[in-house]
Amino acid sequence: MHPAHSIIIFTVTSGLGFGLLAFLGLGQPAVTGWSAFWYFALGYALSVGGLVSSTFHLGNPQRAWRAFSQWQTSWLSREGVLAVATLTIMGIYAFCAVFLGQTLIVLGIIGAILALATVFATSMIYAQMKTVPRWNHWSTPALFMVLSIAGGALLTAHVLLAVILLAVAGLLQMASWTRGDTALAQSGSDIGTATGLGARGIVRAFEPPHTGNNYLLKEMVHKVGRKHAQKLRMLSFILMVLVPVLLLLIPGGWVIVTLAFLVHFVGTLTQRWLFFAEAEHVVGLYYGKR
């Protein structure tokens, strides 16, 4: 799949933002006044910034409001509805915490659940794709969720929890890569089933329908990243999990935690780039590109 910058930035930053908002909703830390203001400002900057970034890849962003209507069937629509619900509930919660010095516990818990549900809906947009066997697995939402909560733990300096969650994310990531590498082969789809000619012999794409490029090839048959995939996997694992965990084991307070977060952020961007670049869409079978 084509690794669109806007979508990579969106999924990473909104994941972190909603993770942070979930911690704030649960009163971890239970902040009021100015310190609450800065916490919520960061949470909203990340989550709203991500959502705004996601509209940049739309062909007609002026109609984006219509995306709230089809929550009954569409995970993308559910994500939009949940995001707005989270931001509204947490907005009231934040207002009371910042300006009135009040912590509305029940509202916070609802907001935290909605925040995590939003991240889940985001991950299901990808996990539901039967056409992309690498994504079509429970490990996709699991990894999105763990990374989001780990990000929240990092941003609220829950050091022990962050170390544990980052370790879990690392294990999930390894499992996801290992399974993903054989996912297409095990999906049962190949050039034989794609053309329906598989029973007759060995099928080979002889001549493509067009000599130039097209939307399908640009969007769904991206291959550039696979050349350096192994190196990038190492790099993303080191930055996303290994270095942050080692840093967090050093007792150093805020400076170390901030540094660990920044390294983790870059690592997660790399991981998310690979998430798209390595994903094989079955339409590539028609072009003999799998």
Partner 1 sequence: MTTLPQTTDKKLGLVIDLDTCVGCHACVVSCKGWNTENYGAPLSDQDAYGSDPTGTFLNRVHSFEVQPEEGPAQLIHFPKSCLHCEDAPCVTVCPTGASYKRQEDGIVLVNEDACIGCGLCAWACPYGAREMDAAAGVMKKCTLCVDRIYNENLPEEDRQPACVRTCPSGARHFGDLGDENSDVSKLVAERGGIDLMPEQGTKPVNKYLPPRPKDVEPEFDILAPYLEPVATDQKGFLGWLDKALEKI
Contact 275, 236 (CB under 8 A): no
Torsion of CA 17, 8, 60, 131, to 10 degrees: -120
Between CA 103 and CA 112, with CA 108 as vertex, the angle to 5 degrees is 150
The answer for residues whose C-beta is within 8 angstroms of residue 213's C-beta and 6 or more apart is: none
- Structure letter (DSSP) for residue 99: I
Q: Give yes or no for residue 186 binding partner 1 (CB under 8 A).
A: no
Q: Give yes or no for residue 251 binding partner 1 (CB under 8 A).
A: no
Pick from 127, 203, 245, 257 the residue near partner 1 by CB under 8 A.
Answer: 203
Q: What is the phi-psi region of residue 188: left when phi exceeds 0, alpha when psi lies from -120 to 50, beta otherwise?
A: left
Q: Residue 197 Cβ, how far from partner 1 at the closest point, in Å? A: 5
69's tokens: 């209507």
Q: Residue 130 Cβ, how far from partner 1 at the closest point, in Å? A: 6
Torsion of CA 241, 141, 149, 171, to 10 degrees: -30
Region binding partner 1 by CB under 8 A among candidate stretches 21-29, 61-69, 104-112, 158-166 = 61-69
Q: Give yes or no for residue 196 binding partner 1 (CB under 8 A).
A: yes
Q: Residue 8 Cβ, how far from partner 1 at the closest point, in Å? A: 15
Pick from 35, 38, 41, 61 the residue near partner 1 by CB under 8 A.
Answer: 61
Q: Residue 67 Cβ, how far from partner 1 at the closest point, in Å? A: 4
Region binding partner 1 by CB under 8 A among candidate stretches 28-36, 147-155, 200-208, 262-270 = 200-208
Pick from 34, 160, 207, 254 the residue near partner 1 by CB under 8 A.
Answer: 207
- Measured from the CB atom, the residue of 84 and 107 that comes closer to partner 1 is 84
User: Footprint of partner 1 on residues 80-99 (CB under 8 A)?
Assistant: 80
- Measured from the CB atom, the residue of 126 and 261 that comes closer to partner 1 is 126
Find tokens 């970034």 and name the residue: 53
Contact 57, 66 (CB under 8 A): no
Pick from 160, 212, 224, 254 the residue near partner 1 by CB under 8 A.
Answer: 212
The answer for residues whose C-beta is within 8 angstroms of residue 118's C-beta and 6 or more apart is: 14, 18, 79, 82, 83, 86
Encoded one letter per residue, x for contact with partner 1 by CB under 8 A and - for no contact, window 131-170 reads xx--------------------------------------
Residue type, 154: L
Find tokens 């909104």 and name the residue: 14
Binding site for partner 1 (CB under 8 A): 1, 57-61, 63-64, 66-70, 72-77, 80, 125, 128-132, 187-189, 191, 193-197, 200-210, 212-216, 219-220, 281-283, 286-287
